[in-house]
């Protein structure tokens, strides 16, 4: 039968308290009173009372692990006065779709510390591209998706490059991944 730590401490306390009382044996003489402090000779060494050694059980391991604060990641956008803006945004993290889409490109998305696969999307007018990047997220870091594209008015409209940077340092944390642009067909 196991005893809970609280009950174990209560039993130890009761055992310690019951050892502090003395009683006279039945039918025998009462014990002699302890000598008073002023009746002890000045040369007698004084001894501190000894306490019984009590061994307490080790505390149980914590049942709740406090997680590290997550990192965050956002997309980015470059405005254009003549045509549609250039927008790169997070589509999914580890295969789980993110609700923001292109309109939510600036909404931070939480990334628990550790390795992740981030699916990204790019849009400009009728052109789109997608890519997957692997990232090792660091707790409490802030990341931003960056891009480069030739989706211009008189450009070739052939590619978009994606990479992720740490916003604190501005340094890339992933290699650049190039994807071909595709043309979005309007609904009929």
Per-residue model confidence as pLDDT tens digits over 7-24: 665 665 655 556 555 555
Rounded-to-integer distance, Cα 25 and Cα 40, Å: 27
Confidence at 132, pLDDT banded by 50, 70, 90: very high
Q: How many CB atoms lie within 10 A of CB 46?
A: 6
Contact 107, 98 (CB under 8 A): no
> Percent of the chain at pLDDT above 70?
71
pLDDT for 133: 98
Q: Is the pLDDT of residue 156 over 70?
A: yes
The overall average pLDDT reported for the chain is 82
Looking at per-residue pLDDT, the higher value among 161 and 33 belongs to: 161
Q: How many CB atoms lie within 10 A of CB 78?
A: 12
pLDDT for 169: 96
Rounded-to-integer distance, Cα 146 and Cα 185, Å: 25
Instruction: Read off the pLDDT of residues 45-67 as tens digits, 9 standing for 90 and up.
Output: 556 656 567 777 777 676 777 78
Q: Is the pLDDT of residue 97 over 70?
A: yes
Confidence at 27, pLDDT banded by 50, 70, 90: low
């Amino acid at each position: 039968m196991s005893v809970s730590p609280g009950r174990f401490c209560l039993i130890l306390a009761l055992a310690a308290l019951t050892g502090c009382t003395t009683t006279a044996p039945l039918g025998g003489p009462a014990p002699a009173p302890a000598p008073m402090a002023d009746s002890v000779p000045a040369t007698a060494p004084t001894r501190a009372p000894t306490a019984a050694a009590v061994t307490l059980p080790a505390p149980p391991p914590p049942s709740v692990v406090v997680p590290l604060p997550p990192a965050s990641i956002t997309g980015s956008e470059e405005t254009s006065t003549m045509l549609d803006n250039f927008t790169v945004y997070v589509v999914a993290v580890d295969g789980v779709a993110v609700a923001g889409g292109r309109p939510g490109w600036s909404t931070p998305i939480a990334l628990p510390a550790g390795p992740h696969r981030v699916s990204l999307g790019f849009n400009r007018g009728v052109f789109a591209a997608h890519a997957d990047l692997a990232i090792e997220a660091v707790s409490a870091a802030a990341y931003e998706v960056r891009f480069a594209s030739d989706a211009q008015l008189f450009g070739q409209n052939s590619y978009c490059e994606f990479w992720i940077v740490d916003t604190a340092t501005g340094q890339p944390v992933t290699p650049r991944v190039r994807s071909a642009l595709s043309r979005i067909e309007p609904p009929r």
